Structure 1
Amino acid sequence: MAPSPFVVAIDGPAGSGKSTIARLLARKIGASYLDTGALYRAIAFYLDGRSVPPEEGEPLRCALAELTVSLRGERVFLGDEDVTDRIRTPRVDSIVSRYAALGPVRESLLDLQRSQSRLGPLVADGRDMGTVVFPEADVKIFLSASPEERARRRWRELVDRGETLTCEEVLFQVIRRDRIDSDRTLAPLREAEGAFLVDTTDLSVEEVLSHLCGLMKLDLSGRLGDV
C-alpha cells in the first residue's frame, strides 16, 4: 500500500498569519497549498449575493445544490467565474463566519478539502484542519496573536486594497468573529491535540517560518530532509 500523502494542518483565528505562513511553507517544502478560508468566503459571497440567509433550511439546501466551487491553483472559482479577488472585502469578512457555522455548508466542502491531499504533499490552513478535516495530519500547528495585532494586520490589508474602515472597526470585527468561530457547536476553532502553539504577535513572517521549519524537523526526525 502506498504511503499516505504528507499533510501539514495549520489552524488559527483571523489575522494570525496562517494563510501567509501556510503559502510560504508549502512553497518551501514543495507541497500544494489549500486555503480553506477562501472556499468558505466564496460560499458566503455566493449565498449573500442570492439573499440566502445564514440559517439552515430549504433555501440554503437548494442554493448549495446549485453551487459549484473549485480550486485552480491558488484561484477560487464559482462555476467558471474567478472570484478570488471579490471575496476579500469587509462585507464578506462580516458574514463568512455565520455561513461557515452551518452544517450543510461545512459538509459541502469536506470532500473537496480532503481530496486535495490525494494529489501529493499538502499544507492546509483554516480553523478546523487539525481537528476535523485532517485529524491524522503529520504536523499540526496553531497560530495565534493578540486581537490588537491581528486587527492591525487586517486593517493594513484593507487599506492596501483601498478600503476605508478604521482600525477600531476592524478590531470589533476580529473580536466578533473570534467569538462566533470559538462558540459555534460544529467544528469550533480550537487547538488540535498534539498541535504546536505559536504566538506570532511579535514575530516577523520570516521568524515564524523559520520557527515552524525547526519544529517540523524536530517532530519528523528528518522526514522532510532540508526544509
Structure 2
Amino acid sequence: MKGYREKFLGMFEDIKSCSKIDIIAINAEIPTCSQNEINFKFGEIEDFLRYKLDEKLKDCLFLSDEISLYWGYELEEDEYENGGEFRLSSLSHIFTFSKPELWYEEMEEEEKEFYKKLIPFDDHPNTGDGVMGVFKTENGIASPEIWLYDSNGICHKMDLDYPGYLDHLLETKGFYGWQYLFCEIDLSDYYFASVQSQLETMLKVLPKLFPNNDYKEYFDRYENLNKQNN
C-alpha cells in the first residue's frame, strides 16, 4: 500500500491524538511490503480474474486482510455521539475469495444481474447498518465502478474511483454518510432525511475535531446538492 500505507497510518495517529475522540475498535496493522511483493500479489489477482486491472489500483494494495476503525466523539460533556466507521478489505481478499450475495431470486432478472456484479470492499460491521462501498465489476473492465449500497439495499453510483474513495475516507475518517456527497441524490426527498442530518452533523463536527484540515470541498458539495434539488 506504499503511499496509502503512510496516509492511513497518519490518519490513525490523528484520530489517536484527538482528545475528544473515543476509539471503540481499531485494526491499524498495515505491514510494510516491497514493490516486488505488491507486483506479485497484483499479478495473482489479475491471473485469478483473467484480465488486467488499472495500474492505479496497485498503489491501493495492502497485504493485511483488512484495516478498520470505529469511533465516537464527545464535543460537549455528556453528549457522546457515534462518529464514523469503516472496514476496508484488501483487494486480494475482495477479488479472490467468495463474495457475499447481494441479490435474491425474487428480483427482476435485470436487477439481479446488476447486483450479481457487486463486490463489497468497505462496510460497517459494528453499527450493522448495512451500508457498504461496493465495486461493480465487469469482465475485462480495468477500473471497476464505485457504488454506495445503502441501508435499504438501494445502490447509488459514486463520482469516485477507488483511489478517490480512499482519499476521501481518509479525510472524513469514515464519518457516517460521507459517501452521499459523491452521489447524485435528492436531499429534499424524504428517503434521504436521515442522510441530510448525517451530512449536516459531519460538516459541523469534523472542523471542530480537526481544525487544521480543509473541508471546503465537502461544504461545496453539500451546497451543490441542495442547489440542484431546490
Q: If the length of structure 2 is used for normalisation, what is the TM-score?
A: 0.22
Q: If the length of structure 1 is used for normalisation, what is the TM-score?
A: 0.23
Bigger proportion of residues as strand: 2
More relative contact order in 1 or in 2 (CA 8 Å, sep 6+)? 1
Bigger proportion of residues as helix: 1
| Structure whose alpha-carbon radius of gyration is higher | 2
